[in-house]
Amino acid sequence: MSGIIEVENLSFSYAPLSTVLKNISFEVMSGTFLAVAGPNGAGKSTLLNLLCGMLVPKSGTIRIDAVAIESYKTDDLAKKVAVVRQESVPVFGFSVIEMVLMARTPHFGQLGFESKADREIANEALEATDTAQFALRPLGSLSSGERQRVFIARALAQNTAILLLDEPTSFLDLKHQVGIYDLLKATQLEKGKTIVAVTHDINLAAQYADEVLLLGADSSYNIGKIEDILFPEQIEKVFGIRTFAGSVGQEKFFLPLGKLAKDSRQINSKPNSSQQK
């Protein structure tokens, strides 16, 4: 059985001599949570934009549901793949429910209005993201964390099998970061969605994702199960920083070791060791 997303020999560059992605091949099985990590400029967001058809590959192919991505029309692709970008405040004062309903735009009838079914789908998405209580409030009046949930609700209302997220938690505090990942995990487990999330946080990735794609700045890449990919030597190679790896129960965690961090000397005396707690 082949994956719901298949990437074959994918290459991309913005300018002729600066290749961002080089000969990348991987596939994502339906219902998998894939985290994409790597340093700035490694091409994480580029890859995401290629996967949703916003950018066109220089060479190689991307297949969604066994069909080449370029043969999808915009509205057909939007029925397979939903994208969540970093939340932003819209220019005009649309309310939460108005915005989530927009996800149904390709399904609107002749008059340009949503059907009852569209409303039910939107309401479900609000319930799932725990945003129903401010359905009628303008988006601008919400906090960043709440707004990011609404953007996810809109993506859920597209009713797609695949959900792509570009650094969904960058500007959120700890509680909201965890909240978003819990929400993503729940949609993966309950609705069987395939999730691809670009993230800077390898610890959250390790905790929630099934697989990780580690993109290096030198166009190298590694993909596989979390435990096969995320270990201190690998992280040092890709991010150029030493880490302290520990674990709590099943969960591994990585602590970056900056030169001048307060306790870096202490930990450095036994680098890369594991501690059981």
Partner 1 sequence: MKELLTPRKLVVRTASAGIVLIAAMFVCLLIGTESISLKAVFHGGGELSAVNPDYEIFVKVRLPRIILAAIVGAALACSGVVFQALLRNPLADPYILGISSGAGLGAIIAVLSGFNWTLWGRSPIAIFAFAGALGTVWLVWFIGRLTGKFHVTGLLLAGVVVNAFFSAVIMFLTSVAKSQQVHATIFWLMGNMTEEDFFVLWIGGGCVLAGILALFNISPQLNVISFGEDDAKSIGVNTARIQIIAFGIAAFITAIAVSLSGLIGFVGLVVPHAVRLVFGPDHRQLFPLSGIVGAIFLVVADTLARIIVAPAQLPVGVVTAIVGGPFFLVLLVRHSKKVGWLK
Residues that bind partner 1 (CB under 8 A): 52-54, 73-79, 81-83, 85, 88-95, 97-99, 101-103, 105-106, 108, 111-113, 136-141, 154, 158
DSSP H/E element including 149: helix 144-157
Residue with tokens 């700035």: 40
**152 or 235: whose CB is closer to partner 1?**
152
Instruction: Tell the smallest beta-carbon distance from residue 103 to partner 1 (Å).
Output: 6
**96 or 235: whose CB is closer to partner 1?**
96
Instruction: Tell the smallest beta-carbon distance from residue 203 to partner 1 (Å).
Output: 28
Q: Who contacts 152 (Cβ-Cβ below 8 Å, separation ≥6)?
A: 84, 129, 165, 168, 180, 183, 184
CA 261 to chain centre: 30
Q: How far is CA 211 from CA 79, 86, 136, 196, 197, in A?
A: 24, 22, 37, 10, 11
Instruction: Tell the smallest beta-carbon distance from residue 162 to partner 1 (Å).
Output: 11
Cβ count within 10 A of residue 65: 16
Instruction: Tell the smallest beta-carbon distance from residue 91 to partner 1 (Å).
Output: 5
**165 or 245: whose CB is closer to partner 1?**
165
**47 or 235: whose CB is closer to partner 1?**
47
CA 201 – CA 233 distance, rounded (Å)? 17
Tell me the three state secondary structure of residue 98. helix
**41 or 106: whose CB is closer to partner 1?**
106
Instruction: Tell the smallest beta-carbon distance from residue 151 to partner 1 (Å).
Output: 9
